[in-house]
Structure 1
Amino acid sequence: MARTFPPDLVQTQRAWTRTYEALARTPFRTVLRRRLQQLSCRIAIHSYWDAGTGRSAAARTELRRQARTEESQERRTA
């Protein structure tokens, strides 16, 4: 079942994914690690999770999947 996530939550997850990929390429970048922690906190405390519709591992997995899908679609069109 596809969920509808708020656009700002998806954008934050997309930023998290890009930061994680950049950190994987250059693992000793403290700035990227801090950015990843900040984005992780924003995702974790987003008001969407308070609504009771999320909170499951499946919901977080679906968020990551949707963010990756959007990211790959944007790369194809660019």
Structure 2
Amino acid sequence: MEDIASLMAHGPGLSQSDWTNFGATQEDHMFDVQEQARILVENIQAAASEGAQTDSESATDFSSTTEPVINRPVNEPV
């Protein structure tokens, strides 16, 4: 019982070494998050580039045709 009483005798908080360890752990975690964000950004940019390339290729294909792509006016009631 005396051990429990001595452990509970102070208020909650972190010692200086606990605070330093907490900061170091969170710093490592933030570096991991930063790396994941960098990878995500690269993937988004690559996908956008692929989409732009596909659009450019499709525009070239459709610009050479003289026939309408569909047989009705676009955005008008049928």
**Structure-2-length-normalised TM-score:** 0.30
Asked which structure has the greater RCO (Cα within 8 Å, sep 6+), the reply is: 1
Instruction: Return the structure number with greater helix share.
Output: 1
**Structure-1-length-normalised TM-score:** 0.30
